[in-house]
Amino acid sequence: MTGHVKRAPSAALLVALVALAALPWFGESYTLRLGTIACMYAILAVSWNVIGGMAGYPSFATAAFFGLGAYTGGVLLARGVPLVLAIATAGAVSFAAAMLLGWVLLRLRGHYFAIASLAVAEVLRELTNSATELTGGGMGLNIPLELGGGASVAYEASFFFLAMWALLLVCVLAVLAVERSRLGFGLACIRQNESAADMIGVHATLYKSLAFALSGVFVAMAGTLYAGWVHYIEPPDVYDILLAVKPIVMVLLGGLGSIIGAVIGAFVFLGIEEFVWRNWLQVHSGVLGFLIVVLLLFMPHGMVSVGKRLRRTPSVPAAGAAAQLRADSVRGAGHG
């Protein structure tokens, strides 16, 4: 009976996710490509939600984890290491790196943490750039991945879609488990009042570092899959700052702190992004920016909260929203 999380929507989410696996039997290659990216985006968003939504730390390190995973896995794949092993290694390396970094960086709050996490991607990008023998440096890295004797293009598309989908499923299950666990409970305490959490015996440094590591491990694995899928990676591509910002927008779109919101937010975001790319290629980043501004100014609690607001009966005096707002101002004040 863990009262700090609500149970009902996650069952619906899991059913919908499982149903998504049927896509290769219906979709063509364009649909499959979109489906693969959708799963990848959802992994990024659900992962970011652990550190950003559950622990309340504004991390911009997603790009760092994605790039680290893409290059760790990519280098291994390029040397003929099997895909599963490459993914596992990337996950492990990223987990360890995030624990270490988290232990140091999570002492910082607010803007300072945000900048430090942003700088991690820059440092990794430069390191990747200069480790030319290993990574190919600025020239990029080719990853000639063989999926077994003469696999067709269609087979490859289905394969990578299903792999990304399976990773998303594992990621969602893991995060759902965390949310219901002692760790999730402790993170909720930390987010709302870190010093009070410390006072009741929550090992805040450990919990925050675990949250940071969890927010990195699946992202890194997705990075490896991405590298294998596109066969070629280069630093500006996989350490792109947009990879750090998009998951935040997706989560804000879906409602901060909600796993189902993060998944829906990722899918909706991809839909919008694709639409904009096809129709206004020249101004796609401007439209993305416009979307962000509108979202933050007019829907601060995302689509989920809009739905809640509509459902809420007038007799209950918006207790949840009041608590939410107060918590927000507490958080704002903590950084202010």
Partner 1 sequence: MFLQILVNGVVLGCLYACIAAGFSLVWGVLNVINLMHGSFIVLGSYLAWGAYHSMGVSPWVTIAIAAPLFYLMGYLVQRGVLNRVMAAPVLVTLTLTFGMDLILNNAMILAFKADYRKLILDPPLGTVAWGSVVVPVDRLVATVFALVLTGALYVLLRRTRMGRAIIAVRLDRDAARLMGVDVPVTYAAAFGLGAAMAGCAGVLLALIFPISPLSSIPYLGKAFVVCVLGGLGSVPGAVLGGLVLGLVESFGAMAIGPEHAVTLSFALLIGFLVFRPQGLLGKRGFE
Partner 2 sequence: MGELLRLESVSRRFGGLQALADVSLSIGTGEVLGLIGPNGAGKTTLVNVITGVHRASAGRVLFEGRDITRLRPYRTARVGLARTFQVVQPFPELSVLDNVRAAALFSAGGSMREAQRVAEEKLAFAGLSDMMALPAANLTLAMRKRLELAKALAMHPKLLFLDEVNAGLNSAEVEQAMALIRQIAGSGVTIVLIEHLMKVVLSVSSRVVVLHNGALIADGAPAEIVADPQVVEAYLGKRYAQRAVEAAQSGTTR
Contact residues: partner 1, CB under 8 A: 52, 58, 104-105, 107-112, 114-116, 119-120, 122-123, 126-127, 129-130, 241, 245, 248-249, 252, 282-286, 288-293, 296-297, 300, 328-329, 331-332, 334-336
Residue 204 in contact with partner 2, rule: CB under 8 A = yes
13, 202, 225, 227: residue in contact with partner 2 (rule CB under 8 A): 202
Question: Which residue type is seen at 55?
Answer: A
152 contact, one of partner 2, partner 1, none, CB 5-8 Å limit per kind: none
Nearer to partner 2, 81 or 327 (CB): 327
Closest to partner 1 by CB, 147 or 242: 242
126 binds, among partner 1, partner 2, none (CB under 5 to 8 A by kind): partner 1
Q: Does 193 bind partner 2 (CB under 8 A)?
A: yes
Provide the minimum distance between the beta carbon of 172 and partner 2 in the complex, in angstroms, as a whole number. Answer: 22
CB 90 within 8 A of CB 78: no
**Whole-angstrom Cα distance, residue 292 to residue 301?**
13
Answer with the entry of partner 2, partner 1, none that 203 interacts with (C-beta below 5 to 8 A by kind): partner 2
Q: How far is CA 125 from the centre of its chain?
A: 19
- Considering only 85, 236, 322, 332, the residue that binds partner 2 (CB under 8 A) is 322
Q: Are 267 and 38 in contact (CB under 8 A)?
A: yes
Amino acid identity of residue 100, one-letter, is: L
Residue 17 contacts residue 169 (beta carbons within 8 Å): yes
Residue 115 contact among partner 2, partner 1, none, beta carbon within 5 to 8 Å by kind: partner 1
Taking phi over 0 as left and psi of -120 to 50 as alpha, with beta for the rest, 126 belongs to alpha
Find the part of the chain contacting partner 2 (CB under 8 A) among 14-22, 193-201, 218-226, 297-305. Answer: 193-201
Q: Burial code of 270-287, b = ≥16 C-beta within 10 A, e = fewer?
A: beebeebeeeeeeebeeb
Which of the stretches 86-94, 208-216, 232-240, 323-331 binds partner 2 when contact is defined by CB under 8 A?
323-331
The identity of residue 313, as a single letter, is: T
Residues 153-182 interacting with partner 2 (rule: CB under 8 A): 182
Select the binding partner of residue 110 from partner 2, partner 1, none (C-beta < 5 to 8 A, by kind): partner 1
**Residues 175, 49: contact at Cβ < 8 Å?**
yes
Give the binding range for partner 2 (CB under 8 A) out of 66-74, 113-121, 197-205, 210-218: 197-205
Min CB(194)–partner 2 separation in Å: 10
- Minimum separation from the CB atom of position 260 to partner 2 (A): 18
Report the residue from 198, 234, 237, 274 that binds partner 2 according to the rule CB under 8 A: 198
Choose which of 77, 189, 225, 250 interacts with partner 2 (CB under 8 A). 189
Span of 10-18, 98-106, 141-149, 202-210 interacting with partner 2 by CB under 8 A: 202-210
| Rg for the chain, CA atoms, rounded | 20
* Residue whose CB is less far from partner 1, 30 or 298: 298
Cβ atoms within 10 Å of 33's Cβ, excluding its own: 15
Q: Which residues bind partner 2 (CB under 8 A)?
A: 1-4, 182, 185-186, 188-189, 192-193, 195-204, 319-320, 322-324, 326-327, 330
